[in-house]
Amino acid sequence: MGDIKATLKLQLDECLFLLKQLENGEGVLYRTMMSVNGLGKIDVYHYIYFLCQHAKRHTTQMKQIKEGFDKG
């Protein structure tokens, strides 16, 4: 579990680093298809934001599952 959490943290940090690199608005120039929830085409900023939120969600889920196992 620690390895998975560490990997998610690295991926989250990488997304945040990429956002910092696009601080002048370049992210709105490019769009990508997002099939999740039928979002359609979204710009790079929204895509990276989605990835960050998704990683946070999985980290929270893992914590909740671990707490459930610890309780017994």
pLDDT tens for each residue of 3-35: 887 888 888 888 888 888 888 888 888 888 888
> Is 61 a residue whose pLDDT tops 80?
yes
Residues 32-61: what's their mean pLDDT? 84
State residue 1's pLDDT score: 67
> Is 63 a residue whose pLDDT tops 80?
yes
Q: Which pTM value belongs to this model? A: 0.67
CA-based nearest residue to 49, from 25, 9, 15, 23: 15
Give the span between the Cα atoms of 2 and 12, in whole angstroms.
Answer: 15
